[in-house]
Amino acid sequence: MPELPEVEVSRLGISPHITDQKISKVIIRNPNLRWPVPDDVKSAEGQVVDSVSRRAKYLLLNTKVGSIILHLGMSGNLRVVDKSVPLLKHDHIDIEFGNGAVLRLNDARRFGACLWQAPDTQHELMGKLGPEPLTDDFTDIHLFEKSRNKQVAVKNFIMDNHVVVGVGNIYANESLFKAGIHPNRAAGKISKKRYEVLTQHIKETLANAIKQGGTTLKDFIQTDGKPGYFAQELLVYGRSGEACVKCDQKLKEIRLGQRSTVFCGHCQR
């Protein structure tokens, strides 16, 4: 599943090609995505994209009459192509621009979304989201206060979008390892000092992933349908049974919230 850094890199990748461009046509080939695609998205036809923004894992193409909201779901990807480029299987939505470019949404599993947000409103999906992790609104104090009396595992706690958005499975594994915190430790049992360390590692891990992904922005101008995501330099995720980079002991794997969770039993407490 694309996580926050991949979605942010998607935003950076498509923005130069569609910002300040007029939407000439919105083509909906398959409206049956995670939620039915509303006809309202066609309201953007004839409008100029003023900006492309991101909230959590949602991308917003902002115009004066409203915003097209895109979500990549489990397997979706966006490509900027010329409108003459042949369609691929699962190319469900095209947003055509006056300059001949097309923003094309491909989603094999159809867990993604294309929705509409009217001006000066907030879509209900974004109403209860926590702070963005790379902003000043996300602090150790916020995590500490939200965690009090919580028995839920800290890994699940920091992956809760009501607490903070965008800390997906990969980056939760990595941040907890760097902070030396056992992923199954109760969120309410962790001190403010340790949350200060964890908060900093969450910010640094996500920022570094976005920076690394910046080298692949050219991949968003392509015709082969491959997502323009980037290889990760991971310390624990996907490395179960391998040696810990800190102590050389074998990394362990458990399931938390039905997700793979890899950690070092020696370094994380």
User: What phi and psi values does residue 21 have, to the nearest 5 degrees?
Assistant: -105, 145
- Residues in contact with 151: Cβ distance below 8 Å, sequence separation at least 6, in sequence order: 186, 187, 188
pLDDT at 223: 41
User: What phi and psi values does residue 153 have, to the nearest 5 degrees?
Assistant: -60, 140
Summarised one tens digit per residue, pLDDT across range 216-252 is: 555 554 444 444 445 667 899 999 999 999 999 999 9
Which residue is catalytic, options 57, 79, 155, 239?
A: 57
Which residue is catalytic, options 3, 6, 8, 174?
A: 3
Give catalytic status of residue 192 as yes or no.
no
Tell whether 37 is covered by a domain.
Answer: yes
Question: Mean pLDDT over residues 210-214, rounded?
Answer: 77
Both 82 and 153 in a single domain? no
Give catalytic status of residue 132 as yes or no.
no
pLDDT at 9: 87
Both 29 and 115 in a single domain? yes
Tell whether 124 is covered by a domain.
Answer: no
For tokens 């309410």, the residue is 188
- Residues in contact with 127: Cβ distance below 8 Å, sequence separation at least 6, in sequence order: none
Tell whether 132 is covered by a domain.
Answer: no
210 contacts 8 by C-beta, under 8 angstroms: yes
Tell whether 181 is covered by a domain.
Answer: yes
User: What phi and psi values does residue 18 have, to the nearest 5 degrees?
Assistant: -125, -15
Give catalytic status of residue 259 as yes or no.
yes
pLDDT at 3: 84
Give catalytic status of residue 31 as yes or no.
no
pLDDT at 176: 98
Residue 32: CATH number of its domain = 3.20.190.10
With 50 as the cut, is the pLDDT of residue 128 above it? yes
Both 102 and 35 in a single domain? yes
User: Running DSSP on this structure, what letter comes out for residue 38?
Assistant: P
Which residue is catalytic, options 22, 185, 246, 259?
A: 259
72 contacts 4 by C-beta, under 8 angstroms: no
- Percentage of the chain surpassing pLDDT 90? 82
Confidence of residue 94 (pLDDT cuts 50, 70, 90): very high
Residues 194 and 157: their CA atoms lie apart, in Å, by 14
Tell whether 269 is covered by a domain.
Answer: no
Tell whether 268 is covered by a domain.
Answer: no
116: Cα separation from own chain's centroid: 19
Q: Which amino acid is at 13?
A: G
Name the strand (E) or helix (H) holding 169: helix 169-179
Residues 233 and 149: their CA atoms lie apart, in Å, by 34
Residues 30 and 46: their CA atoms lie apart, in Å, by 22
Domain boundary among 119, 151, 176: 119
- Residues in contact with 185: Cβ distance below 8 Å, sequence separation at least 6, in sequence order: 153, 154, 269
The whole-model pTM stands at 0.89
Query: Which residue range(s) make up the domain with 257?
Result: 140-263
The number of folded domains in the chain is 2
For tokens 């607490």, the residue is 163
Summarised one tens digit per residue, pLDDT across range 51-65 is: 999 999 999 999 999
Extract the annotated binding site for DNA. Answer: 90, 109, 150
- Percentage of the chain surpassing pLDDT 70? 93
Extract the annotated binding site. Answer: 90, 109, 150
pLDDT at 220: 52
Both 31 and 62 in a single domain? yes
Both 157 and 255 in a single domain? yes
